[in-house]
């Protein structure tokens, strides 16, 4: 399956923002490795959707926090397509609770995926992405909006922002950009889970464009960073419809 196309590896690519991103990058002409943690069937569905539109894709599995499994995912991507040019780190989990009552096991679970997982994938990307490539990590607009209940999640994503901006400086001389996308309220299962209709409507009204974001809105931002945005580096882009 080796190809001369640019190649993207999208973690969490089997659903939500990750799936929309994988499909969008394939439409942009990239070959895509669709990563999944546990649901291979959904990853295979994303691969099938890409291939039905004339794109090239494979599914790769692994725990993002396990360096050996992610090294194997990168190996599989390189074996299939000849290299890696873009790495998009959408994999993450979100558990909401007041800081005073959050179960510390949930804190550890979230930080293992969101912090260690992002670090492990970023480390592999820093070693393997080819010149002219891009690394895109994921934060959240709540780092800035500071909604109650999000303390532990925001702590993990603030860490992602910090490591992203430092990695951008560490990649000096390699012609590789490193940025983070910080979505606002976006209609994905991760965001909608556990929220009643009144809460969801209130968050939609808080956005000047008066709607929730859609996964395709965020994928568009990633597409910009992965392709034409060669002068955007070491930044956090708030893709949130104008939410403060």
Active site residue ranges: 153
- Rounded distance between C-alpha atoms, residue 180 and residue 152, angstroms: 19
- Rounded distance between C-alpha atoms, residue 237 and residue 228, angstroms: 15
């Amino acid at each position: 399956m080796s190809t001369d196309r640019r190649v993207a590896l999208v973690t969490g690519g089997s659903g939500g923002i990750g799936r929309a991103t994988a499909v969008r990058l394939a439409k942009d002409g990239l070959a895509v490795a669709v990563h999944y943690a546990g649901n291979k069937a959904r990853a295979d569905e994303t691969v099938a959707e890409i291939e039905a539109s004339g794109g090239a894709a494979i599914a790769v599995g692994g725990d993002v926090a396990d360096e050996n499994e992610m090294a194997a995912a990168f190996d599989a991507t390189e074996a299939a397509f000849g290299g890696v040019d873009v790495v998009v780190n959408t994999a993450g989990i979100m558990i909401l609770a007041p800081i005073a009552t959050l179960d510390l096991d949930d804190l550890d679970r979230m930080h293992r995926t969101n912090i260690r997982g992002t670090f492990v994938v970023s480390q592999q990307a820093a070693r393997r992405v080819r010149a002219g490539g891009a690394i895109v990590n994921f934060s959240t607009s709540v780092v800035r909006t500071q909604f109650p209940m999000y303390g532990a999640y925001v702590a993990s994503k603030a860490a992602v922002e910090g490591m992203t901006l430092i990695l951008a400086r560490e990649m000096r001389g390699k012609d590789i950009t490193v940025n983070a996308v910080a979505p606002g309220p976006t209609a994905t299962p991760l965001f909608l889970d556990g929220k009643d209709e009144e809460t969801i409507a209130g968050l939609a009204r808080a956005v000047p464009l008066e709607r929730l974001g859609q996964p395709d809105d965020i994928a568009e931002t990633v597409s910009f960073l992965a392709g034409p945005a060669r002068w955007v580096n070491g930044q956090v882009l708030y893709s949130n419809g104008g939410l403060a």
